[in-house]
Amino acid sequence: QQQVKQSPQSLIVQKGGISIINCAYENTAFDYFPWYQQFPGKGPALLIAIRPDVSEKKEGRFTISFNKSAKQFSLHIMDSQPGDSATYFCAARIRGGATNKLIFGTGTLLAVQP
Amino acid sequence: DSGVTQTPKHLITATGQRVTLRCSPRSGDLSVYWYQQSLDQGLQFLIQYYNGEERAKGNILERFSAQQFPDLHSELNLSSLELGDSALYFCASSVGMGGGADEQFFGRGSRLSVL
């Protein structure tokens, strides 16, 4: 199955709170899991990415948690700010190296209220 | 700015027509990817080219075709347009063909409205 399921569809968080977005997959051939951030009128931009041999990766206020056995990964945004308000997409890439095509989740619209 | 340039920004056309979307990748990138973003389907991979050759195909309709030219720019041709083809079409580029941490950089997209 080449699907990535993402939840929730939308999320409202107060400034300073923690935003959590979850993704799940079935295909064990995925070897790279990036998160993209998209602002209105712009294209998606890579935020942070992880490989399945690592359980957690942190970059500033953004952390990916990866559970290989459960085939789930999540994005945590600590100390959420109004500037973080955007649509977030998780994605996955199939191992092999012959292509870099990404399978995207359906997106989460995050609104951080001041 | 990602360095990926897409034209036009917005295109309005009628059903049955044909349009061409253009993408210029970042300098030095050899791969170009096309994605379709619609409200109900999210971001869907269409096709990838690497240095002029097709590398991977996704859910691309037979009415759609693409190519990558010797100067590495790419065009996505959409023909016999239907209302359901209305969407944002994104182009992305990366250095390699796949593997490693080959980051894809996205353009701002071309919004197609079919009336």
8 Å CB contact of B98 and A99? yes
CA distances from B72 to B32, B49, B51, B94 (A): 8, 9, 7, 12
* Residue B93: closest C-alpha in chain A: A100
Give the span between the Cα atoms of A13 and A84, in whole angstroms.
10
* Residue B99: closest C-alpha in chain A: A97
8 Å CB contact of B104 and A102? yes
Give the span between the Cα atoms of A9 and A6, in whole angstroms.
7
Q: What pLDDT, in 10s, does the model give residues A55-84? A: 999 999 999 999 999 999 999 999 999 999
8 Å CB contact of B98 and A46? no
CA distance B26 to chain A (A): 14
pLDDT of residue A31: 86
Q: How confident is the model at residue B100 (pLDDT cuts 50, 70, 90)?
A: low
Give the span between the Cα atoms of A105 and B10, in whole angstroms.
25
Q: What pLDDT, in 10s, does the model give residues A29-52? A: 888 999 999 999 899 999 999 988
CA distances from B102 to A65, A67, A81, B32, B60 (A): 21, 23, 29, 12, 23
8 Å CB contact of B45 and A101? yes
* Residue B42: closest C-alpha in chain A: A106
